[in-house]
Structure 1
């Protein structure tokens, strides 16, 4: 019985960008998983935190990513709860982008309202995580 060679479908040209972004993010995540951000000397300090003592919305994001890569949800939440919520949403958006690109459809467009709402959430989170009464819940845990 003769077997036919399996024909491989080439990667569509439009899918190369989401695949490249996915590979870059995966490599960066592996690096952060291996090189612990809790140990000083491996990563730069947040300039806002260093200059003012205020935590920006991204402060604790590397440590949260490290904890997520090690499946420590509680540790990640204590570093940056917004990132713990946002990371899976970003992965889902990336997956939608990849599927659409693979099927030859244009990348999804983010409505202006969503972009403005995202900016608003970042600003509100940035302010609230520096309110002294909320720091134990929203501020990054000191390493």
Structure 2
């Protein structure tokens, strides 16, 4: 059986910096990771006590809920993204973004379950520093 390493909600918003400011003021959130591409937040990990969640600006096929997108994307970190995707597809999920290798060190993609929830499935393939991840993102948006 595939090992699940973590699960956290991923909030797609219109105005990532304003959302991060709100979560800091309202919840005492700390931003532990923040990556941008083309001036937009593509991933910011937020820590509130023992709880963590991610925030990203809308775009790259992710509309904010105010524009008809899903209110939350569930990020599922596993040891084998392909195996989890195959099991989910066999059980009735559909592909939103196919499983593929990404410059930021993950192999992953996105599936929608039969109930409309989006699952971002990812397996870490390379241990990169935050600076290396940002440099790779910057190189792909030039």
Q: State the TM-score bracket (shorter-chain normalisation).
A: under 0.3
Structure with bigger gyration radius: 1
RCO comparison, higher one (Cα < 8 Å, 6+) = 1
